[in-house]
Amino acid sequence: MTENRQASRGVRHVTVDGNHDGQRLDNFLMGELGQIPRGLVYRLVRTGQVRVNGSRAKPMKKLRSGDDVRIPPVADNPPESRRIPDDLVARIRACVIEQTENLAVIDKPSGVAVQGGSGLNWGLMHVLARMGEGYRPVHRLDRPTSGLLVVARHHRAARELQRAFAGRRVEKRYLALLEGELAEPTVTVDAPLKKVRDASGQRRTVVAEDGQAALTRFRLLETVGGYSYVEATIETGRMHQIRAHAAGIGHPLAGDERYNQAPAPAGLNRLFLHAHYLRLDWPEERVFSAPLPEELAGVLDRLRQDGPDSVSSMDT
């Protein structure tokens, strides 16, 4: 990649090379601008401060080798100056399941955002920057969701993994606890989702005819204490997809403060959603797993003790 700096304005013009051919503009900018909130990247693109070959572009535009990308100056605190808790780097390091020259697979804790923003001074990517260079986001997990997250370790790996996710060649499965009892052992929700803002200004996702295609499958594992313990498989990656689809069928996730008005089960102080299974096909086919966190397993145990009539799908 070649770069021409215009020092008077602090604007950079970067020529896309072959290693970035096919990469999305937003992900390209994340790599060029460092660990800044993704929302800021979208704002720079939306307001026209970023240009591709002199023209406005959308964040999801696929770049091509030879494209000229205008990148404005962005003030951002280096990772060293961020107020990252002292013990967090060690905590995240302990959550790394596997790390290779191409990628790292992390069992992300609940409560840790992938990026900063929305009032957060730091995110997981900032913590990873303390651990070494080259980490690049490939997909996301909501802040309250725990479980398997893969990050790339260089540009080519980011491009290949993003293509795998976009081509639906990555299999992701989640463990969740739903309000109420599912009527069927398997429930498939094929309903388009649309991003909206509620009266308080919070972003939500709702089922809407003019939304984006989204498909989620819920497989009942166990009914316990008036809840359904399920495995959810998604074939698309929309914002809050599992949470919105579960709420849309009248079975919102336990502990979901945004989509569920009912009180959480005793002892549950977070969203009951955990990404426990991840299958990748690049650079070779691999399957990764992460067990249910202790705080969620404990909730299930208490429900089983309080509800002796619970039924496991493995016993029927």
Q: Write out the catalytic residue numbers.
A: 142
Question: Environment class of residue 74 by beta-carbon count within 10 Å: exposed (0-12), middle (13-18) or buried (19+)?
Answer: middle
Report the 10 Å Cβ neighbour count for 133: 8
Angle at 162 between CA 158 and CA 163, to 5 degrees: 120
Q: How far apart are CA 230 and CA 222, in angstroms?
A: 7
Distances (CA, A) of 113 to 10, 14, 123, 125, 188: 30, 29, 5, 9, 28
Tell me phi and psi for residue 158, to 5 degrees.
Answer: -60, -45
With a CB cutoff of 8 Å and minimum separation 6, the contacts of 50 are 25, 29, 44, 57, 69, 70, 71, 72
Longest dimension (CA), the chain: 73
> How do 146-152 and 273-280 pair as beta strands?
parallel
Could you give the CA distance from residue 72 to residue 28 in angstroms, rounded to a whole number? 14
